[in-house]
A and B are shown apart, each in its own frame.
Chain A
Amino acid sequence: MEATVRETVEQKPERLLDRQVIDDQEAVTAAATVGKPFVEAPKMAMRNVNVFYGEKQAIFDVSMDIGSNEVVSMIGPSGCGKSTFLRALNRMNDTIEGCWIEGSLQLEGQDIYDPKLDVVPLRARVGMVFQKPNPFPKSIYDNVAYGPRIHGLVDRRADLDEVVETSLQRAGLWNEVKDRLAQPGTGLSGGQQQRLCIARTIAVSPEVILMDEPCSALDPIATAKIEELIAELSENFTIAIVTHSMQQAARVSSRTAYFHLGKLIEVNDTEKVFTNPEHELTEAYITGRFG
């Protein structure tokens, strides 16, 4: 994949983007999103989303869809607002003082910022995996069982055992931890901890899983395992993943969204983004001219 990316891009005539355009907030904000941001029967539909941290605007007029059972990756230079946008999708931004949101975000046609909507079930439907593995300082079993317990998904201990086992199996962790379920989750290796966090998220059977740079703290082998896992999970879940690794985006996702200075520049099929990007900013980014 990587080889193709380089070849095709280098065949194109070299258009030099000067620094001015890359850093020009107004020019970037004025740009329209290119590619195909919308799909039929989307799982999540975002329209004209603006996110503010107090006075400072972090996301400018972003509209895009996330289809059912697809893996959408979000790439872009540091500070461009990927995490902010991702966190808007399950209202994790609510916890940040001074953060507010404009526009419409819908999950299966339901407005997720509806004041009458309860965030607790929303977050059970749209789960999140964070950049740094963050298991609870509890046993491995309790980590995975926590979600089902608080949501009252199971009544009997045997059912809970089963949920824990299948979640760990789906996260590819079962064989490594089945003999030490009572030991603390914090005692696992970094990669195992991240898979434990994924198991914890899927234990509540969410419809959408948001992942914010889930592999950035992991070594290549652990990363490969998680990438495999994402491919498997995409059969049952809709996944939105933020990543800094373009190779990773190319490997795991079907569509890729490129953010720049808080603006969604381009959304396209992953292959198209990496072989023949429509927007010159996207091209400049994936060829490594900045970022």
Chain B
Amino acid sequence: MNKNTQRTIDLVNRNLAKRYRAEKRFRFYGLLSISFGLLCLVLLFTDIIGKGHSAFLQTYVALDVHFDADVLGIDNIDDETQLTVANYDGVIRKALLERFSDVRSRRDKRQLYALVSNGAGFDLQDVFRERPEQWLGKTETLWLLADDDVDTYVKSRTASGEAFTGRLSENQQRWVEALIADERIEKRFNTIFFTSGDSREPELAGIRGAIMGSLFTLMVTLVLSFPIGVAAAVYLEEYAPKNKWTDLIEVNINNLAAVPSIIFGLLGLAIFINFFEMPRSIPLVGGIVLTLMTLPTIIISSRASIKAVPPSIREAALGIGASKMQMILHHVLPLAMPGMLTGAIIGMAQALGETAPLLMIGMVAFIVDIPGGATDPATVLPVQIFLWSDSPERAFVERTSAAIMVLLAFLIVMNTLAVWLRKRLERRW
């Protein structure tokens, strides 16, 4: 007996070292895969942030603008139409010509004018109309939005004077250098990027329109998919008889969750736009299409969390005389809610990043106006990224990365919200 135990212990000890080694190896593999994942994430983030961070700054040029009543074409400052149609571009041009008085030829002039953005005239109008009586006839030093080529040049300029010239001509480079030497060029925080819609001019393009489009689309998706998904899950789990019809439904729901999203886009195009003749490019249709896409996710996760509610709780409720509906509303749903919300938020995060189905229903259009509701034409963040990534201007490259950063920020916020909600609502039983 004693001898026997001795031998068992020896055997165990002999194998122990091997077992520990195996365990260490196992842990090492796990660590390795996590490190690999983290490395990829870090690479992705450095690349995106490295390319995109400069989009949060924008170059401005200071000019001495003389508000000449003749150039503007204003003889009565109380006349609103005169203030609106006034030739603001003219005074900017004049200011440029005054600064670089050696420019004579037409070609050179055109190149000179191109240093300042097309949008600068509108900015000037805005500031001028606040105090026309003060400024008319006076000269003011104003910071005006630079053109995107100038912006790229200034941003890429290194201490040793090398820079990405792009489409800037020799003359233009010289002028910009002169302005820099005069400290008449400055990089400021790029508010335009967050306050305006899309534009052909990179320096005027912003993601506000896409953000609002995404917001309206997601709102439609959430409002439709969460109640429908939860109701379907409750019915399937609590009421539906278990027969081959419900089996068929279950199989199909699981299938739908794996269908490529572009199919949902085609479906949306065929049904909502072609058959019901709903307008193209609107968040309402986009939201409905994304609802179809996220429903399976929400139904599956809701069913799983309803199933996870212990049967003893149901019996307790029924045993005391609760009706089935009371049992579901008072006990099952509150206990299943954290899981269902997590599923819904994951579905929403998927929907937020979805591009393909929205291309199909025309949310890929070039839309300058910021949508004010679910029925205004709009685009969404990932589609905006897609559109910009396709544009040749170098200034759009940084904007693409910046838009990706904004999208990632939204995703992180949503996922954090999911974790927080789950912690908050989770109850032990």
Contact = CB atoms under 8 A, between A and B. Distances in A.
A34 B335 CA distance: 48
Contacts of B323: 120
Interface string A106-139: 0000000000000011111001111010111100
Contacts, number: 68
A267 B132 CA distance: 106
Contacts of A128: 315, 319-320
Contact of A120 (B312, B313, B321): B321
A186 interface: yes
B191 interface: no
Given A137-B428, A150-B326, A186-B429, A95 B318 contact: yes
Interface string B171-199: 00000000000000000000000000000
A137 to B, nearest CB: 4
B320 A127 contact: yes
A141 to B, nearest CB: 15
Contacts of A124: 320-321
B321 A151 contact: yes
Contact of B316 (A95, A134, A151): A134
Most buried by A among B241, B315, B316, B335: B316
Given A130-B315, A136-B331, A146 B428 contact: no
Contacts of B428: 137, 186
Contacts of A136: 313, 316-317, 331
B316 A204 contact: no
Dominant SS among interface residues on chain B: helix
Interface in B269-320: 310, 312-320
B309 to A, nearest CB: 10
Interface string B139-157: 0000000000000000000
Interface bin, chain B: 20 to 34
Interface residues of A, number: 27
Interface in A187-207: 197, 200-201, 204
A147 B323 CA distance: 11
A95 B312 CA distance: 12
B427 interface: yes
B335 A130 contact: no
A90 interface: yes
Contact of B318 (A92, A97, A137, A186): A92
A186 B429 CA distance: 6
A288 to B, nearest CB: 31
Given A134-B312, A136-B313, A127 B319 contact: yes
Contacts of A97: 241-242
Contacts of B330: 146, 150
A153 to B, nearest CB: 11
Contacts of B320: 123-124, 127-128, 146-147, 150, 200-201, 204
B310 to A, nearest CB: 8
B71 interface: no
B16 interface: no
Interface in B257-272: none
A83 to B, nearest CB: 12
B315 to A, nearest CB: 6
A137 B312 contact: no
Given A92-B318, A130-B319, A137 B335 contact: yes
Given A136-B331, A137-B335, A204-B321, A95 B314 contact: yes
B322 interface: yes
Given A97-B242, A137-B428, A137-B429, A150 B313 contact: no
15 contacts: A90-B319, A92-B318, A120-B321, A122-B321, A124-B320, A128-B319, A130-B312, A134-B310, A136-B317, A137-B313, A137-B429, A146-B320, A146-B322, A150-B320, A201-B320
Interface of A: 90, 92, 95, 97, 120-124, 127-130, 132, 134-137, 146-147, 150-151, 186, 197, 200-201, 204
